[in-house]
Amino acid sequence: MNKVLGNKKAIALFVAPALVLYTALVIVPVIWSLYYSLFSGSPGLQWEFVGFDNYLKLFHDKNFLNALQVNFKYIAVVMIGQVGLGLMLALMFKFWLKRCKAFVRTLVFFPVVLPTVAVGQLFAKIYEIQPNYGLLNSFLSAIGLEKLVQPWIGQASTALWALCIMDIWVAMGFYSVIFYGALLDIPDDILEAARIDGASSFKLFRHVLLPLLRPMVITCLVFSFSGTVKMFESSMALTNGGPGTATKSLSMYMYDVSFTYNKVGYGSVIAIVIFLICICGSMIINRFDVKDD
């Protein structure tokens, strides 16, 4: 094995296929988008060079600024919810759930494999108010909280939060399985020693488990951040970006600009902004990772 890894030709042979795919699927589209961002209109239809005018236009585009605000709110809530609840579920699997562990883990993970359209339809029924109350409004009505009954996805004040709850529910099982695998790798001797020293459950988590899980927490935050930045299909399935623009993300706005209004150049600028947010956000999260020298 050392001979193979020390051979530059062998290394190139292993790296080349992945490098070619990465270049074709990531690098080339990014360069293409950068080129398109310098033009106005759509190729073959009012296609003219405008330089950096499209970039300057972003700062005066209210729809773009609104989509950016929606994205940041969504990222903050969903990323913390997915990773935080995933960690809590993993701790429950490890320390409190004594029976039917495999069944419960399968049940929690099941939403991850459901089609987004099916999940959207499910939650649309849960939040429904007309013609009949959905599950949520029926429950509120049954326990005497009729004042809280409202069109959860039909008004701008609650639509985004309703969408966040749906996406947290879908993905928290995925992160719980990742954290549970990491917890299984922690030797029981370390936990037992902490208990003998008198560590409470909170101190055990704060001073023992959390530092050991730190690399996995950072990894999960990067995964969740990358997914939430590209928010598209879940919003399309549940609210179609509405009501109004309450749940319209950058990806949805980019799609509308590029394919509905045929402004491919301006749409490419928005795509580049999404790409830069992914890169910068991931780099910031990774800075919290502590690596041993």
Residue type, 133: Y
Question: How many Å separate Cα 36 from the centre of its chain?
Answer: 27
Q: How far apart are CA 39 and CA 117, in angstroms?
A: 35
Q: How far apart are CA 94 and CA 42, in angstroms?
A: 55
Q: Which domains does the chain have, with CATH numbers?
A: 61-123+156-286 (1.10.3720.10)
The residue behind tokens 């883990």 is 105
Q: How far apart are CA 238 and CA 132, in angstroms?
A: 18
Dihedral sign (CA 221, 226, 227, 229): positive
**Long-range CB contacts (within 8 A, 24+) of 29-36:** 30/272, 30/275, 33/268, 33/271, 33/272, 33/275, 34/268, 34/272, 36/264, 36/265, 36/268
Q: Which residues contact 218 (CB under 8 A, 6 or more apart)?
A: 285, 286, 288, 289
Q: According to the model, what pLDDT value does residue 293 have?
A: 43
The residue behind tokens 């236009």 is 57
**What's the pLDDT tens digit per position in 61-77?**
999 999 999 999 999 99
Greatest CA separation for the chain:
75
pTM value is: 0.90
Given a contact cutoff of 8 angstroms between Cβ atoms, the answer to whether 135 and 125 are in contact is: yes
**What's the pLDDT tens digit per position in 76-130?**
999 999 999 999 999 999 888 878 878 888 889 999 999 999 999 999 999 999 8
Given a contact cutoff of 8 angstroms between Cβ atoms, the answer to whether 247 and 160 are in contact is: yes
Q: What is the pLDDT along the chain (293 residues), one digit of tens a residue?
A: 556 556 777 778 888 888 999 999 989 988 999 999 999 988 877 889 999 999 999 999 999 999 999 999 999 999 999 999 999 999 999 888 878 878 888 889 999 999 999 999 999 999 999 888 999 999 999 999 999 999 999 999 999 999 999 999 999 999 999 999 999 999 889 888 988 888 888 888 998 999 999 999 999 999 999 999 999 999 999 999 999 999 999 999 999 999 999 999 999 999 999 999 999 999 999 888 755 54
Helix or strand run (H / E) with residue 157: helix 156-184
Q: According to the model, what pLDDT value does residue 70 have?
A: 96
